[in-house]
Amino acid sequence: MIIESLATRPDLLDAALGLGGVGAEFMRHDQVAGLTRASRLAVRWPEYFLVVLDRGLPVARAVGVPLTFPADDRTELPDHGWDGVILWAVEDALDERRPTALAALDVQVDAGHRGRGVAAQALSALRDGARTHALQRLVVPVRPAGKQRFPHLSMRAYLDQRRPDGLSDDPWLRTHERLGARFVKVAPFAMTITGTLKQWEHWTGAPLHPGANVVDGGLAPVLASIEQDMAVYVEPNVWLEHPVPVG
């Protein structure tokens, strides 16, 4: 396996985008996520947009954004998780603030290469990239996809589900743990998506009823109000930090 960045191989962008997406349709409607369209990241931070090649063919991508953390005004990672860290990165870029950490936003592996340790290699490459650019931390707002099976369970209760060997029962969390990542905290409001009832019906393919609705691809229920003609999805994630070797 060879790992390239778009800084040196911008020609890999289109192929990298074909490796996976955001999942369920409603996930495409997080307003903050629009700031991190691949075309924007490829131009602004190509050195942190990595592509894993197997015999010259792209099989995975890993994307991160640099930001300042910790700082006097940022003593802990944001409760708003994925959304929050994207806003931090954009603020720092506009303010020309020197970054000290890297936040991993996305890791996607081609379906035919899953289960082969490729995701772990991609994560390790992001960690090495942080070290290369003198960033002291790699933080990740992890979206444990296995929680889709337990949408009514709190994230803290989900994290308590462990295998006999002590590792997480969730495959994606387990990958991070095997690489030495440590748990920091739950991000209770990592992603927020709002829409009218008609919009949600279009996104999910079914009408919502008043109260909590379980939808395909959701880690938590969608809360709907008939009177207000709106529904909101608030997704929890898990903050993990990977050790970045010095030097």
* Tokens read off for 246: 């010095």
Query: Higher pLDDT residue, 36 or 127?
Result: 127
Is there a domain that residue 195 lies in? no
Query: What would the pLDDT profile of 41-89 be if each residue is shown by its tens digit?
Result: 888 999 999 999 998 999 999 999 999 999 999 999 999 999 999 999 9
Is there a domain that residue 178 lies in? yes
Name the residue range of residue 111's domain: 2-190+236-242
Is there a domain that residue 196 lies in? no
Helix (H) or strand (E) holding 189: strand 182-195
Query: What would the pLDDT profile of 92-147 be if each residue is shown by its tens digit?
Result: 999 999 999 999 999 999 888 888 899 999 999 999 999 999 999 999 999 998 99
Is there a domain that residue 149 lies in? yes
Q: What is the mean pLDDT of residues 35-39?
A: 83
Query: What would the pLDDT profile of 181-219 be if each residue is shown by its tens digit?
Result: 999 999 999 999 999 999 999 999 999 999 999 999 999
Query: What would the pLDDT profile of 149-163 be if each residue is shown by its tens digit?
Result: 999 999 999 999 999
Count of the separate structural domains present in the chain? 1
Q: What is the CATH number of the domain that holds 164?
A: 3.40.630.30
Q: What is the pLDDT of residue 21?
A: 65
Secondary structure (DSSP) of 146-175: GGGG-TTS-HHHHHT-B-TTSSBSSHHHHH
Is there a domain that residue 230 lies in? no
This prediction has a pTM of 0.94
Helix (H) or strand (E) holding 178: helix 171-178
